[in-house]
Structure 1
């Protein structure tokens, strides 16, 4: 909220109040990539960082950027917008180049997440739909997933790159399978007082959920 992107060393597990990069506007989404790269999606801007320093800024955009993700291979940045589209940029050195590649999701984008192996891109939107694209096929649609009763807020891929979790305003969490789209795990009322705000996997069977109800929950899944 103070227009900064802050960094924490996972090995040391130490937080430093001075380990930050100042943005021009408030950041809404951060994605970490290989080689010290990170992308911060701010109000009206997409900022590329290298080794905790700003190196490139995209502004004067004709859409409002909401969320971003760096491909694990480091070559592409996907930015989801309030215009219902995912805009793909090439990462060339310390710059982002617009290649004119756009994915239309038919609803304001709420999250974008690449699978750990970089093979798939999952995109959620306010229309309660999750679309998974196959990267190697020029981002062709692999499948669409329906189940949430309200806006999907967040996504997270399992380490097996086949399952992914979604959390929504309906306070529900789903775990989906790419290899079997009909098979899904439903966690109703994952957080009873507020919607699910964040997801993370500890391993292939352990999922962490967070919420504005001030709770962090750990779930053991039977996949």
Structure 2
């Protein structure tokens, strides 16, 4: 990379999307194939649709820009999603049906891809900025972690149904999330520890 990467996302067909400081890069089989410079916004995080058809890039301005992946290029179709604050993380569900986003105004939002990215649900619960998000393999649940040292597990179809995991890491906030399977969540933190949690719905 020419500049420091902030986020990376992978999809089918060897595609990867790297969001760097001042630059968005599309890679194919580990080689750079397309670069977007001179952006008129500050790109924070990117997510590739699992099918490799769309690249979503979230900005500090609270907007998500949807680019279509055409061969080895990204084409701006002029489609955006507006959120309440700067986007801190986002990810498509594993089946590509939903796009979940978190912003610095403590709002978690899920959009339905097939319905032209209409809002499915908004979720509230974090007391401080959420910074990381990960989908469960079941595509019905996803986890968010924040500066409030809390992790929430949300249910896509029901915003009121949530599992709260307080004080996940007591010395520092959660920095990363990953699912091992539908009932096993891993959290990382700057406190130099990795923890595994069993989630029961």
Partner of 1:193: 171
Partner of 2:16: 38
Higher alpha-carbon deviation: 176-185 or 46-55: 176-185
The CA distance in 2 between the partners of 1:179 and 1:43, in whole Å, is 35
The CA distance in 1 between the partners of 2:18 and 2:39, in whole Å, is 15
The CA distance in 2 between the partners of 1:177 and 1:30, in whole Å, is 25
Structure 1 runs not aligned, ≥5 long? 1-22
Question: What is the CA distance between 1:75 and its match in structure 2?
Answer: 0.3
Q: Aligned to 2:73, which of 95, 105, 108? A: 95
- Give the number of aligned pairs: 201
Question: What is the CA distance between 1:52 and its match in structure 2?
Answer: 0.6
The CA distance in 2 between the partners of 1:130 and 1:94, in whole Å, is 32
The CA distance in 2 between the partners of 1:181 and 1:82, in whole Å, is 25
Structure 2 runs not aligned, ≥5 long? none
Q: Aligned to 2:153, which of 167, 175, 200? A: 175
Superposed CA RMSD in Å reads: 0.6
The CA distance in 1 between the partners of 2:37 and 2:149, in whole Å, is 34
Instruction: Give a deviation string over 1:55-106, Cα, whole Å, max 9, x none.
Output: 1001111100000010011100000000111110000000000010000002
1:211 and 2:179 are equivalent in the alignment: no
Higher relative contact order (Cα pairs below 8 Å, separated by 6+ residues): 2
1:122 and 2:69 are equivalent in the alignment: no
